Chain A
């Protein structure tokens, strides 16, 4: 998947990665790489505008956390974010199913 295509799904990927846990930006990127088995490679800085945007939209909340002597900004889903994740997951499954059907037919 190209970088541009990936950018279009970044919100869903970030929301899904933050499901049931709190992560800071660096850990989030590492988890994205691990969870996708290395399939997703983006300039790592690109997640920060997305995280800030999702927070402004009320889908994420964040706070400063001091662990191992270093201050990091950790993010987590809000209740609204959980709802948004479920909706987008549903939409993605329908989209992927539609693509599969067309591609298989072809």
Chain B
């Protein structure tokens, strides 16, 4: 395993936020580089020096495990859902989005680019919004779901055709 491969493996196993992940990877990379330099000074050939440095640091899985899982991701997802709910209930016109994707202008406002993925995690939750006023004045319902990979989808159920924004 090379240092780059080690860092890629470590990155895969770190379940921290992006800032923490960047810092940890940078610190470990510096450590590996310094350890390799020391092994080279001790007379080991380059490949062996890199391998010995990696052995000294230890398994990337074991190293990643004690770092606490990022808590902010579920919090931000909840904020995103709450913001989407408020935008839907109180109106967020002026932004278009393809209705076939299930994404509403409210989500497009949140992401800024019409995409339907906000954050990447393995957790999911769902939130239902009960009643809305459809364009024809009748009552309908709207459901917000935060699924896997924090894909936010919003489904509108109105008695008549899909409302246009």
**A72 and B30 in contact (CB under 8 A), knowing A26-B35, A48-B63?**
yes
A44 and B35 within 8 A (CB): yes
Interface flag for B34 (CB, 8 Å): yes
**A25 and B66 in contact (CB under 8 A), knowing A43-B57, A71-B26?**
no
Docked complex: A60-78 residues within 8 A CB-CB of B: 70-73
Chain A interface SS verdict (over half): helix
Interface flag for B24 (CB, 8 Å): yes
Closest CB of chain B to A47's CB: distance in Å?
9
**A73 and B35 in contact (CB under 8 A), knowing A43-B58, A49-B63?**
no
Interface size range on A against B: 10 to 19
Of the candidates B23, B26, B30, B58, the one whose C-beta lies within 8 Å of that of A45 is: B58
Docked complex: A6-51 residues within 8 A CB-CB of B: 24-26, 43-46, 48-50
Interface size range on B against A: 10 to 19
Residues of B near A44 (CB, < 8 A) are 31, 35, 56-58
**A25 and B56 in contact (CB under 8 A), knowing A45-B63, A52-B67, A73-B26?**
no
Distance of A73 Cα from B59 Cα, bound (Å): 21
Distance of A24 Cα from B28 Cα, bound (Å): 11
Docked complex: B12-58 residues within 8 A CB-CB of A: 20, 23-24, 26-28, 30-31, 33-35, 56-58
Distance of A44 Cα from B26 Cα, bound (Å): 15
Closest to A29 in B: B31
7 sampled A-B residue pairs with Cβ under 8 A: A26-B31, A43-B59, A43-B63, A44-B31, A46-B62, A52-B20, A53-B66
